[in-house]
Amino acid sequence: MQRHHLTVSFRSLFATLLLLATWHYLPAQTPSNQPPVDPTRAIVYRIATNDIIRIGVFQEPDLDMIARVDVKGMVNLPLIGQIKVINYTIPEAEVAIETAYRDGRFLRNPQVTISVQEYTPREVSIQGQVRNPGRYPLPIEQTMSLLELVTRAQGFTDTAKGTAVTVTRVNADGTKEVFTVDVESLIKGRDRAKAKDSSLILLPGDIVYVPERII
């Protein structure tokens, strides 16, 4: 009788330990009151002309500095001189500087950190048949769609041809692209609205033009 009692106790203890171990490894639950992250709203920031960046080198205080990105997209660093950082993401620029210090045999294992101290203004312009044409700032490290820009410009005028809005873009290599977007269909939710039109994200320097409808 005593042996049976001990066997039952051992089984109960084993079951309890197994339950605790299982509970410990259960995945954490996301609080229901947390809004979901929208990855389409985030944009990877790329260093631009006139940005002021802080460059730090681990355990090398003499190499720490604050520099402005010049019109050629370069910064002038101790020992290695000028190095291109324009259009690089922060991690890409860090790797480029680390590589330069390593390849120049100035540092064996450089660890570089970069932060943007001051962002250069990033703007787009919209002209033509909108109620408030002009230049509009782009949000830092966030996206702005063409539809959002039209909304900021207080919408189309009564004579606007919203089915043929153009976006002119000059790329870093000097080439020019022109996109024609049916914004009116996007606004009204028409079936003919194209997915690529709704996903078009504006970039600094884009020029948007809303033509006049021929009556």
Pick left, alpha or beta for residue 195 (phi over 0 → left; psi -120 to 50 → alpha; otherwise beta).
Answer: alpha
Assess whether 111 and 154 both reside in one domain.
Answer: no
Domain end position, chosen among 94, 118, 142: 118
Q: Give the Cα separation of 40 and 23 in Å (integer).
A: 35
- How far is residue 130 from each of residues 125, 153, 154, 158, 183, measured CA to CA in Å? 11, 6, 7, 9, 12
Assess whether 107 and 73 both reside in one domain.
Answer: yes
User: Residue 60 sits in a domain of what CATH number?
Assistant: 3.30.1950.10
Question: Is there a domain that residue 34 lies in?
Answer: no
Task: For residue 54, list its beta bridge partners.
Answer: 66, 115
Question: Is there a domain that residue 3 lies in?
Answer: no
- Torsion angle of alpha carbons 39, 41, 46, 52, nearest 10°? -120
Average pLDDT of the residues of the chain: 80
Does the predicted model carry a pTM greater than 0.85? no
Token pair, residue 145, equals 């769609």
Question: Is there a domain that residue 40 lies in?
Answer: no
Assess whether 129 and 100 both reside in one domain.
Answer: no
Question: Is there a domain that residue 38 lies in?
Answer: no
Q: What is the pLDDT of residues 153-210, one digit of tens each?
A: 999 999 999 999 999 998 767 789 999 999 988 888 765 555 565 667 898 889 999 9
Residue 78 has pLDDT above 80, yes or no: yes
Total domain count, the chain: 2
Assess whether 131 and 101 both reside in one domain.
Answer: no
Question: Is there a domain that residue 100 lies in?
Answer: yes
Residue 30 has pLDDT above 50, yes or no: no
Residues of the domain holding 153: 123-210
Q: What is the mean pLDDT of residues 32-46?
A: 49
Question: Is there a domain that residue 11 lies in?
Answer: no
